[in-house]
Amino acid sequence: MTKKSLFIAETVKFYQDFLTKKGTIYTTDYILDETFTLFFKRLNSAQAKAGMELLLKCFENDYFNLILIENDRFKATCKMRIKYLDKPLISFTDLSSMLVMKELGISLILTGDDHFNQVGMGFIKVP
């Protein structure tokens, strides 16, 4: 099994266990933007459309929450970008996610991205 397929399998298992324990999932419109863009880059149009519709349907459930990066959050993320000038590879989207996580008191993040460990804000990557 490749490293990537192992990560995917662990991620799916974590997600299923999390839902079984009645966990709440949060994401932002910036993350959806990146996800939808990736769908349409890597999949054919019909698959991308189906993936997009399936993901949007998740928000009809109480345990799946979409957080918008509105004006105040955008401005606060701009300040974070300046604060972390020494970490230019951290994306604006990741910084906006970190801001929302701190705002909502969320420490667990389902990601393969090491940037969440580089800022010293107490985030815990899972799986």
CATH of the domain at 22: 3.40.50.1010
pTM of the model: 0.88
Instruction: For residue 32, give the nearest of 7, 62, 63, 69 by alpha carbon.
Output: 69
Alpha carbon of residue 44 to chain centroid: 23
Q: Give the model's pLDDT for residue 126.
A: 86
Report pLDDT for 13. Answer: 87
7 assigned to some structural domain = no
Q: What domain count does the chain have?
A: 1
- Residues of the chain by 3-state class (helix, strand, coil), percent to 5: 60, 10, 30
pLDDT averaged per 10 residues, the chain (length 127): 82 85 92 96 96 93 94 98 97 98 95 90 91
CA distance 33 to 76: 19
- Residue 68 has a CB neighbour count (10 Å cut-off) of 11
Q: For residue 3, tell me if it sits in a domain.
A: no
Determine the pLDDT at residue 12. 85
| Residue 69 domain boundaries | 13-126
Predicted pLDDT at 74: 98
